[in-house]
Structure 1
């Protein structure tokens, strides 16, 4: 393409029409929860330590609240990526989550019912004409219990324009001394100690005040190894683990030919599964290979948008403890986690109230940023906490 337009005319054919649902092939296992907690850098004993979990209110291991996205076959992107946009690529732009109460345990089976909902085209400094596309993911368990809704935002753009507009600047990774790493490890441990300190106790709504700040969380430096660990925590990346879609054709979606490939292709999975799991070929390889990251407009290897949404939910859920629950989180992604960078999270209580359903809620503003103070994501969320008996 020689012009600087983005043809989104095909998208109207798909809005509001349900897609094929996402389904795993076997019931979930405790090790799926452990792998997810490990991949998301979330050392909460409730999700991986059998003895600790047995003494909890659940009496057993329970999945992190962020886990539903791990049971999708495309980390929530599918309903936000329908219709052809020629010579395009996709990155995540944000997630809004609603949680309805039921938790996920060993033996459960989840299904994700998906509906594309809308789109808007705007001009951006990143890639010129850019399509922001939305879709809903509705997660249910085998009993029909409504677990969560994820409203995803995908950003679809032309990679050639992103390269032309200089998005690949800052290709060099920052260097961390042994002293720097030691300090980071101390900061990580300080955060982990706050999880241990709460233990199985309740964090009461009564004891939280507007203006309170949550403990700062840190993880990194990110690397291709850590991004690979993240990717492998998504269950759809396991060969044969998902009922693959029959309505997915990345070339038909208009993906850049060098990035389309056979990701999630059930036919190719039986022939050569390495072409289908997203790590080596196809649109996801930009995360793990610096050459392909630069090709689609990123300066170097980078993390996954759906992981950033999980980091936010985990951070808030860990603070709430096992008796609390994140009921809503609206996350906007401003920039990726790049290899060599460190991610920090902070949050501040901005309101506390009782809603029309009688729930005692804490509202927080949360921020994710790197070692330079560059904002990576922002979120506003509501967290339900127990009320002391009168």
Structure 2
């Protein structure tokens, strides 16, 4: 290990983290199968008006035969936005932001009545020195999702960024660089609505582009979400089923000593989860009223962890990417793989624009189906990139 890494490690107490690398870990298990309204609430929060996910009459008359969940919904059937196995071990005085995620989808669609079960593993860690917070730990964790029939649905590899909250607050990177909250005129909002409406029309019928018709360099219809507000952030958070009082239980893998189910991760004052108090008042386990997510909707708390003002969720941005690709792929297409790097948050007042381009075509793939490779970029109104993603999407041959 280099001297720089030694110095970083001396500042981040990893004594409870390092022994857990490579170990299976526990987590939350949803108690109840998903309902149509769980799916509807999710697409509403993700601003994804694909009627196959919310309109019962439309879906019943489609080739899918009824409402199905979007592929992004697997994150909603989990706990901790999928980042739990990437946040293992106590680091005193720390906070966490979501750094990115990679998803593999194996073909099983989620429908009302399904219940997913997770296997989780703490994959690896990497120390770095960042402008944002100095000593910073990048850690990755894997979650494998099976349905109640034992069918393999998806795998996620999440990347968490753990850092010292006091150091990020002291450095004030975002406070020093962040422009004032944008003010949107009626004319500008009308332009945003026009782009959004055109995108909705582009895939509403579910028609899939054929593999032979797609060419390298083709661009997907542009999508837009925003302006982001406290209301939209709260709506997103409340769509995750883990936030329903009593909606999940804690589980642990068999035969694992100390499997890190619900231990104290070392959050700073004001951001902790209080399980002892939550037995009487579940708001103490809520995460938004109290707990690590409150900085997303409260400027004062956001500033305490170095984020300057209210900001969106990494898991939401990942879902946006998957939904964007799936809408283009249509009912006969399927997102097989997507890897997203979260380059910066969607701040309150921002608008997020989506653009994607076909980068390559693979007539044969390890999935046994033809795939189209795409490059995806999400950026705000100033052109600042918030997500870079690569993806592989299955398209029909005929």
SS in 2 for 1:312: helix
Verify the 8 A CA contact 1:22 1:111 in the aligned structure 2. no
Which residue pairs with 1:70 in the alignment? 76
Unaligned runs of 5+ in 2: 1-8, 253-259
Do residues 278 (structure 1) and 290 (structure 2) align?
A: no
Q: TM-score, normalised by structure 1?
A: 0.94
Instruction: Report the alpha carbon displacement of residue 16 of structure 1 after superposing the two structures with TM.
Output: 1.8
Partner Cα separation in structure 2 for residue 163 and residue 89 of structure 1 = 11
Which residue pairs with 2:90 in the alignment? 84
Matches within 5 A, 1:104-119: 104-119=110-125
Do residues 177 (structure 1) and 185 (structure 2) align?
A: yes
Instruction: Report the alpha carbon displacement of residue 358 of structure 1 after superposing the two structures with TM.
Output: 3.1
SS in 2 for 1:301: coil
Alignment counterpart, residue 253 of structure 1, candidates 252, 258, 265 = 265
Which residue pairs with 2:136 in the alignment? 130
SS in 2 for 1:113: strand
Deviation string, structure 1 residues 99-118 (Cα, Å, up to 9, x no partner): 00001011111111111011
Partner Cα separation in structure 1 for residue 10 and residue 199 of structure 2 = 47
Verify the 8 A CA contact 1:123 1:129 in the aligned structure 2. yes
The number of aligned residues is: 380
Instruction: Report the alpha carbon displacement of residue 340 of structure 1 after superposing the two structures with TM.
Output: 0.2
SS in 2 for 1:283: coil
337-346 or 49-58, larger mean C-alpha shift: 49-58
Alignment counterpart, residue 349 of structure 1, candidates 355, 358, 365 = 358
Verify the 8 A CA contact 1:102 1:146 in the aligned structure 2. yes
Alignment counterpart, residue 278 of structure 2, candidates 269, 277, 286 = 269
Which residue pairs with 1:216 in the alignment? 222
Instruction: Report the alpha carbon displacement of residue 163 of structure 1 after superposing the two structures with TM.
Output: 1.7
Matches within 5 A, 1:89-168: 89-167=95-173, 168=175
Alignment counterpart, residue 28 of structure 1, candidates 30, 34, 37 = 34
Partner Cα separation in structure 1 for residue 95 and residue 344 of structure 2 = 16
After superposition, the Cα gap between the structure-2 partners of 1:328 and 1:238, relative to the gap in structure 1 and judged at 3 Å, is same
SS in 1 for 2:283: helix
Do residues 204 (structure 1) and 203 (structure 2) align?
A: no
Verify the 8 A CA contact 2:27 2:79 in the aligned structure 1. no
Partner Cα separation in structure 1 for residue 207 and residue 93 of structure 2 = 53
